[in-house]
Amino acid sequence: MLELRCPPSVEGIAVNLQPDWSFDSLISELNSLEKKLNASSTFPLPFNKTRSRGFLDAKCNESSSRAFVMRVLDHYMPDAESDVGEEDHDRSLAALAGRRFTFGDLCTSDSEDSEDELTHGGQCHLMKKAGLVEGALSEITHEHQLSVTEEIRNEILALESKLMSENEKFALAQARIEKYIEARQEMERKFDLQYQPIIAEELDNHLTAVQRDREHRSQIEEKRIRDDAALEETKRKQKAVEKAQQEAEEARRQAEKKLAEEAKRAALAADRRAAEAAKEKERAATAAAVARQEATVESKGVQPHTSKEVNPPGCRKCMEMVRKNEELGVGSNKDYRSHGMQIARRIKTITGTKESVRTKSGELIQIMKSPCPQSISIAMFAEKVVSQCANPTGSFSNAVYAYCHVIVLVTSQVPTAMEILLAELNRVCIYTVPKYYSQSGFVTKEAYYKAIGYQEEDGKMESPNSYVARLSSYMKLYGALVQTEVEGVQNYHGIKEGWAWLARFLNILPANLYTANALQAFLEMAGFALHRRYKSQFRKLLNIISCDFCNALRAASRERGDSRLNKVITGIQSYIESNQFLNEPKGRLLQGSLLSHQFVPESNYQEQYYSPSHRYY
């Protein structure tokens, strides 16, 4: 009897000793079992079936409805069981059936002929037999796999031996490096032991030198402190002596001042009495000098006035500077022309604001101190400032005060520039001297016009109206200049020179159209400052102008029938009678301080604007 070497049930499937299944049911059951095994297996399967189980034999297909029959051949059984009868053999085969397996008539035979004697007369196999070609291919494949496996094994052995050799080399190299490191460390220890005394000795010498140097410096510092103390004591004693001398000198000056005041008061009455007589005498002497000078003039010469201001001191310096600049080649040097353009650009951009005046004056001072010869810079500065009056615009009267602020600030650092500027102004406008040329002293009218400052336009003399407008601009610049005051900065041609100019003007110059316009422009710009400084004395001069000068203008107007004189007379009379000199001219105070001026007294305003932290220089 054949018994199964397996438990009676596996995963709930028991062996059925009497299966009653068809062949199709068996195939489907096997397929389901394979799917379950593939899903539950944790190891990859050797192959996957791609085709469903089946038999291609027609006889097998015809008997598929019959039960599965398993035959076991006699030569597969042990010799001890060969004598078992056919019935016992059938019962053993029946015991091998599992659940749903039906074992039909399965017989074994000792020869292949018994297989041909099956009930159906045909042979049915679960798997096809392999052919000769397929068997040979399988053997070749197996041999190839064995050869590849052998080659891989040989390669692995070679790599292992090479790796062991490299490891041995690395171990030897590492051992040599360790020995070298130990040798170097030993050598360094020997060197440390050898040089340690030398290093200690050098360190001791260095510390000794440092200590000696510190002691020396300490001695020097102590000596300096003693010297400073002695010097301070000497200065203190000297200051005490100087203070005593100053006190004695001050006492002496006070005594002299008191005596001088007494003498001044004593002589004041005599001076007042002699003032009018001296004034009349000076007028007579001036008229006589003019007559003598007109008598000695050449046929084409110019007749200057006999006043001592005919050739001001600045003219001589101006002529010397012109000659010097010509030697330097001002007109032909491009660098000098570029320098002049820089000066002109700064002057043209001056506006009536504090910031503009501060900035432009600082830039012009820096240009004056540039490597360019200062004589050239001064001459160009004077020329560019005066040229602003040649073509006056509507805002010229307001900006002219700003120009004069810049002039005063620049000339305070370069005093020669003031003399050259005045000389240039006197050259283009003789009434700023003041001086006067008589037309009778010239041969032609054109020569006279050129002498008093007329310019040629396209070969013709400019019109009187154009000349008068330019003359007024020059006089406005001069009037604004003399009245400009900057706290902490000296104006080398200030209000005193303006007062002297007005006195000489009234004493020397005759009353005509040109002198009247010059006087009107000067009063409009400087009248406010002159009245604030001289008060009643200025009013007396205004009375002289109103009575003597204006009456002379009226007489000249009636004599010549010139209507332009009437306009000038009306302007001067209106200025005096309406007390316009009491009103501060527009533009005299630079913009940026007008709002604060409404709330702060004028003295405080001046201190705030010209404080040291806000000065232009």
Query: What pLDDT digit, counting tens, does each position of 455-481 carry?
Result: 888 878 889 999 999 999 999 999 999
CA distance 86 to 84: 7
Give SS3 for 188.
helix
pLDDT value at residue 129: 60
The pLDDT of residue 264 is above 90: no
Closest CA to 524 of 474, 577, 480, 463: 480
pLDDT value at residue 10: 53
The CA-based angle 239-242-243, given to 5 degrees, is 85
DSSP 591: B
Q: Are 417 and 376 in contact (CB under 8 A)?
A: no
Q: Which helix (H) or strand (E) holds 568?
A: helix 563-577
Residue predicted with more confidence, 558 or 617:
558
Residue predicted with more confidence, 2 or 164:
164
The pLDDT of residue 524 is above 80: yes
Mean pLDDT over 261-283 rounds to 68
CA torsion, points 346, 351, 354, 360, in degrees to nearest 10?
0
- Residues with Cβ within 8 Å of 322's Cβ and at least 6 positions away in sequence, in order, are 379
Q: DSSP states of 509-529 as a string?
A: ---SHHHHHHHHHHHHHHHHH
Over residues 575-588, the pLDDT tens digits come to 999 999 999 998 88
2-11, 31-40, 92-101, 503-512: least confidently modelled range? 92-101
DSSP 12: T
pLDDT value at residue 37: 74
Measured in residues, the chain has a length of: 617
CA distance 134 to 153: 28
Q: Are 417 and 378 in contact (CB under 8 A)?
A: yes
- Parallel/antiparallel/unpaired status of strands 9-10 and 13-14: antiparallel
Structure-block tokens of residue 205 = 């010498």
User: Could you tell me the domains of the chain?
Assistant: 9-117 (no CATH), 131-296 (no CATH), 297-614 (1.25.40.510)
Q: Model confidence at 192, in pLDDT bands (50, 70, 90)?
A: confident
Q: Which helix (H) or strand (E) holds 144?
A: helix 132-295
Residue predicted with more confidence, 285 or 599:
285
- Residues with Cβ within 8 Å of 19's Cβ and at least 6 positions away in sequence, in order, are 67, 68, 97, 98, 99, 100, 101, 102, 103
Q: Are 346 and 366 in contact (CB under 8 A)?
A: no
What are the start-end ranges of the E strands in 310-357? none
Looking at every residue in the chain, the average pLDDT score rounds to 75
Q: Amino acid identity of 347?
A: I
pLDDT value at residue 299: 39
> What would you report as the CA-atom Rg of the chain, rounded to the nearest whole angstrom?
67
The pLDDT of residue 78 is above 80: no
The CA-based angle 569-498-477, given to 5 degrees, is 70
Residue predicted with more confidence, 21 or 439:
439
Q: Model confidence at 26, in pLDDT bands (50, 70, 90)?
A: confident
Most confident of 13-17, 312-316, 430-434: 430-434
Q: Model confidence at 29, in pLDDT bands (50, 70, 90)?
A: confident
Q: Are 96 and 4 in contact (CB under 8 A)?
A: yes
Closest CA to 518 of 552, 481, 558, 477: 477
Phi-psi region of 300 (alpha: psi -120 to 50; beta: other; left: phi over 0): alpha
CA distance 83 to 574: 171
pLDDT value at residue 374: 85
Q: What pTM did the predictor assign?
A: 0.49
